[in-house]
Amino acid sequence: MLLFPDLTTLDLVGPYDVFVKAPCFEVLLVGESTDVIRAEGGLLLKPSVSLQDCPQLDILFVPGGKGINELLTNSNVISFLQEQAKKAKYITSVCTGSLVLAAAGLLDGYKATTHWRSIELLKMFGVAVQDSRVVRDRNRITGGGVTSGIDFGLMLTALIGGDEMARIVQLQLEYHPEPPFHAGSPQTAGLPVLQRTKELTQPMFNLRKKIIQDLLKGKKQDI
Amino acid sequence: MLLFPDLTTLDLVGPYDVFVKAPCFEVLLVGESTDVIRAEGGLLLKPSVSLQDCPQLDILFVPGGKGINELLTNSNVISFLQEQAKKAKYITSVCTGSLVLAAAGLLDGYKATTHWRSIELLKMFGVAVQDSRVVRDRNRITGGGVTSGIDFGLMLTALIGGDEMARIVQLQLEYHPEPPFHAGSPQTAGLPVLQRTKELTQPMFNLRKKIIQDLLKGKKQDI
């Protein structure tokens, strides 16, 4: 699981807590270095291994968050993902982590998804975006926004450890959701909430779009 | 928000990520010291302030996890909670965090809840346990198992920042859950999964029950 500054904590910890409770996984937390990093909101996390010292992983996982803006053009991280992906059995992400996979070319020719706000940005990479909470296309598994990571984690557990294991973990996590509102998707949130949320996230959207445009321009020039 | 060794990461991060996205909260992560601690599964977290240096908090929050066993008899932490509780506006927990609040006497005379596996243990403290995903009794708000922390966080956001703010955060978190199985509660998991999960958690349950029995015996002798 990749750690980086300004990641969205719940993108990481939704699947992490599933993996920790499922005996079919061994979790490794990988950072550019093992220095403490600051996640969104200030939570301080310490990676257990650096990119350089990381062994070959069976499952690559990239969470999302504000910090992916920097990753999109971070050649250390992109090269790491590209190298690991050659032998990894599954290549996965939650939320805007899929934009990083796309920037590394790892979603070329695959169906995938991302946070609803970033669907348009994922399409810019030419990815066949599919409107589902979790999308599996062969060995690529991508989750939608933040909390979809719990659904993703349980799905991957079922795939690797079997349905019974996934059900046991779901019960341990008491994942019997009762959201107080019916507002968790653009389709259900209602227009005023959707518009306000779009407004609030517009500066980040614009900035990210610009980074991706520049990145794609650069790639074309390389060819 | 209280950090301690062997906390369940999702207990903490469910509400944390809600609070970080809701502009009505400022989050402080409090540890016994500011040394790095190891959460369940090995994730390394660094508290931003020690118990000793922590200012008066408006909202006290205690997550659960294996590590609460140590907290139940940790006089530093228990005294800290008791002192803070005198002036805090809300006293809250998720999962087995409510056992710590109960050990500090902070649920005496209140209705509360906890992880389904610990309901019996919370009753040992004389707490009026209620079977709901989130229970509010005046200024005590307690969540059930692990993932209930997201529902709890949104409920508290609505209470403090209003419904619209909670809906915006829910949409940002894309909290439109689609669990792959219908196994998230003892009522829905089915008997084989429920029995297997009980077996797996029996040693921890027995150990915790013994700690609470000894704690309650000690308290009686003090009187």
A92-106 per-position pLDDT tens digit: 999 999 999 999 999
A75, A94 contact by CB (below 8 A): no
**Does B61 have pLDDT greater than 70?**
yes
Mutation site, B171, B173, B200, interface A, largest A CB count within 10 A: B171
CB atoms A170 and B179 under 8 Å = yes
Measured between beta carbons, the chain B residues lying within 8 angstroms of A186 are 171
Nearest CA in chain A to B30: A43
Radius of gyration of chain A (CA): 17
pLDDT digits (tens, 9 = 90+) for B18-41: 999 999 999 999 999 999 999 999
Q: How many other C-beta atoms are found inside a 10 Å radius of the C-beta of residue B182? A: 12
Region A176-190: mean pLDDT is: 95
pLDDT digits (tens, 9 = 90+) for B132-167: 999 999 999 999 999 999 999 999 999 999 999 999
Measured between beta carbons, the chain A residues lying within 8 angstroms of B173 are 10, 145-147, 184
CB atoms A179 and B177 under 8 Å = yes
pLDDT digits (tens, 9 = 90+) for B89-100: 999 999 999 999
CB atoms A148 and B174 under 8 Å = yes
Structure tokens at B154: 């949104």
pLDDT digits (tens, 9 = 90+) for A111-128: 999 999 999 999 999 999
Q: Measure the CA–CA gap between A6 and B78, rounded to whole angstroms.
A: 32
Structure tokens at A147: 């909390």
Region A148-156: mean pLDDT is: 98
> From the list B13, B29, B147, which residue is nearest A177 (CB)?
B147
Chain A nearest C-alpha distance from B76 (Å): 23
Measured between beta carbons, the chain B residues lying within 8 angstroms of A93 are none
Chain B nearest C-alpha distance from A39 (Å): 10
- Residue A116 has a pLDDT of 97
The domain covering A9-182 belongs, at the CATH homologous superfamily level, to: Class I glutamine amidotransferase (GATase) domain (3.40.50.880)
> From the list A16, A171, A186, which residue is nearest B189 (CB)?
A171
ipTM above 0.85, yes or no: yes
- Residue B220 has a pLDDT of 78
Nearest CA in chain B to A45: B45
Chain B nearest C-alpha distance from A167 (Å): 6
A107, A125 contact by CB (below 8 A): yes
> From the list B8, B46, B193, which residue is nearest A46 (CB)?
B46
CB atoms A115 and B8 under 8 Å = no
CB atoms B166 and A181 under 8 Å = yes
Closest CA to B86 of B74, B99, B104: B104
pLDDT digits (tens, 9 = 90+) for A43-80: 999 999 999 999 999 999 999 999 999 999 999 999 99
CB atoms B9 and A17 under 8 Å = yes
Nearest CA in chain A to B8: A17
Measured between beta carbons, the chain A residues lying within 8 angstroms of B133 are 176, 178
Mean pLDDT of chain B: 97
Region A129-156: mean pLDDT is: 97
pLDDT digits (tens, 9 = 90+) for A22-51: 999 999 999 999 999 999 999 999 999 999
> From the list B170, B183, B192, which residue is nearest A179 (CB)?
B170
Amino acid, res. B139 = N
Share of chain B above pLDDT 70, in %: 100
DSSP B42: G
Mean pLDDT of chain A: 97
- CATH fold for domain B9-181: Rossmann fold (3.40.50)
Closest CA to B44 of B5, B96, B86: B5
- Residue B219 has a pLDDT of 81
- Residue A221 has a pLDDT of 78
Distance in Å from the first CA to the final CA of chain B: 31
- Residue B158 has a pLDDT of 98
B73, B215 contact by CB (below 8 A): yes
pLDDT digits (tens, 9 = 90+) for B164-195: 999 999 999 999 999 999 999 999 999 999 99
- Residue A223 has a pLDDT of 63
- Residue B223 has a pLDDT of 63
**Does B131 have pLDDT greater than 90?**
no
Q: How many CB pairs (< 8 A) connect A and B?
A: 233
Give the residue numbers of A marked as catalytic: 95
Chain B nearest C-alpha distance from A160 (Å): 14
Which is catalytic among the residues B54, B95, B99, B100?
B95
